[in-house]
Chain A
Amino acid sequence: MEKNVKKSDDSIVMRIVRNQMFIPLLALAVLFIFNLIADPSFFKIMATTNNAGNSVLTGNPITILDMGSELAILAIGMTLVTSASGGQDISVGAAVAIAGSVILRVLRGGSTVPVIFAFLLGCVVAALFGAFNGVLVAYFKIQPMIATLILYTAGRSIAAWINNNELPVIIDPKFTYYGGTIPGVPIPTPFFIAVICIIIIGLVLKFTNLRLYTQAVGVNENSSRLNGLNPAFIKVLSFVILGLCVAVVGLIKVSRLSTINYSVVAKDIEMDAILAVALGGNALSGGKFNMASSILGAYVIQFLTTTLYAFKVEAAALPAYKAVVVIVLVVISAPTVRDWFSSLSKKLKVKEVA
Chain B
Amino acid sequence: MKDNAVLEMRNIHKSFPGVRALQGVDFTLRKGEVHALMGENGAGKSTLIKVLTGVYGKDEGNIFMDGIEGPVAIHSPQDAQKVGISTVYQEITLCPNLSVAENMFIGRTSGVGQNWKKMNKDTEKILRSLDIPATATQQLGTCSIAIQQMIAIARAVDMDCKVLILDEPTSSLDEQEVEKLFKLMRDLRSKGVGIVFVTHFLDQVYEICDRITVMRDGQLVGEYVIKDLPRVKLVSKMLGKEMDDMSDIKSEAKTYERKAGEVPVLEAENRVSDAGIKPFNFHIDKGEVNGFTGLLGSGRSECVRALFGADRITGGTIKMKGKSVKITKPLDAMKNGIAYLPEDRKGDGIVGDLSVRDNIILAQQVLKGFMKPFSKAEANKIADEYIKLLSIKTASADTPIKSLSGGNQQKCILARWLFTHPEYLILDEPTRGIDVGTKVDIQKLVLKLASEGMSVTFISSELDEMLRTCSRLVVMRDRKMVGELSGDDLNQSKVMSTIAGGDE
Contacts and interface: CB of A to CB of B under 8 A. Distances in A.
A229 B352 CA distance: 16
Contacts of B331: 228-230
Contacts of A224: 351
Interface string A219-250: 11011111111100000000000000000000
A219 B352 contact: yes
Contact of A208 (B354, B363, B371, B416): B371
Interface in A189-242: 207-210, 212-213, 215-216, 219-220, 222-230
A215 B310 contact: no
Contact of A220 (B308, B330, B351): B351
A228 B363 contact: yes
A328 B372 CA distance: 41
B419 to A, nearest CB: 12
A108 interface: no
Contact of B358 (A207, A208, A212, A226): A212
Interface in A256-293: 287-288
A212 B358 CA distance: 8
- In this complex, which of A208, A227, A287 has the most chain B Cβ atoms within 10 angstroms of its Cβ? A227
A288 B398 CA distance: 13
B354 A226 contact: no
A222 B347 contact: yes
Nearest to A205: B373
Contacts of B371: 207-209
Contact of A226 (B348, B353, B367, B370): B348
Contact of B350 (A207, A210, A220): A220
Please tell me the size bucket of the interface on A. 20 to 34
Contact of A213 (B370, B372, B416): B370
Contacts of B351: 215-216, 219-220, 223-224
A219 B352 CA distance: 7
B334 interface: yes
A216 B95 CA distance: 35
Contacts of A288: 353-354
B334 A228 contact: yes
B184 interface: no
A228 to B, nearest CB: 4
A209 B354 contact: no
A219 B354 contact: yes
Given A215-B354, A220-B351, A226 B310 contact: yes
Contacts of B354: 212, 215-216, 219, 288
B352 A216 contact: no
A208 B365 CA distance: 11
A210 B373 CA distance: 9
A230 B329 CA distance: 9
Nearest to A229: B366
B369 to A, nearest CB: 8
B49 to A, nearest CB: 27
Nearest to A220: B351
B353 A227 contact: no
B292 interface: no
Nearest to B368: A209
- In this complex, which of B331, B351, B358 has the most chain A Cβ atoms within 10 angstroms of its Cβ? B351
Contact of A287 (B340, B347, B353, B366): B353
A228 B310 contact: no
A64 B313 CA distance: 55
Nearest to B332: A228
B373 A225 contact: no
Contacts of A287: 353
- In this complex, which of B334, B354, B372 has the most chain A Cβ atoms within 10 angstroms of its Cβ? B354
B240 interface: no
B362 A227 contact: yes
B297 interface: no
A287 B352 CA distance: 10
Nearest to B342: A226
A31 B315 CA distance: 63
Contacts of B334: 227-228
B193 to A, nearest CB: 40
22 contacts: A209-B365, A212-B354, A212-B373, A215-B351, A215-B354, A216-B358, A219-B351, A220-B347, A220-B348, A220-B350, A224-B351, A225-B330, A226-B310, A226-B348, A226-B349, A227-B334, A227-B366, A227-B416, A228-B330, A228-B334, A230-B331, A288-B353
Interface of B: 308, 310, 329-331, 334, 340, 342, 347-354, 358, 362-363, 365-367, 369-373, 416
Q: Which 7 A-B pairs give the minimum distances between C-beta atoms?
A: A228-B331, A228-B366, A219-B353, A227-B363, A220-B351, A222-B348, A219-B351
Given A213-B366, A215-B353, 5 more contacts: A209-B371, A222-B348, A223-B348, A226-B342, A288-B354
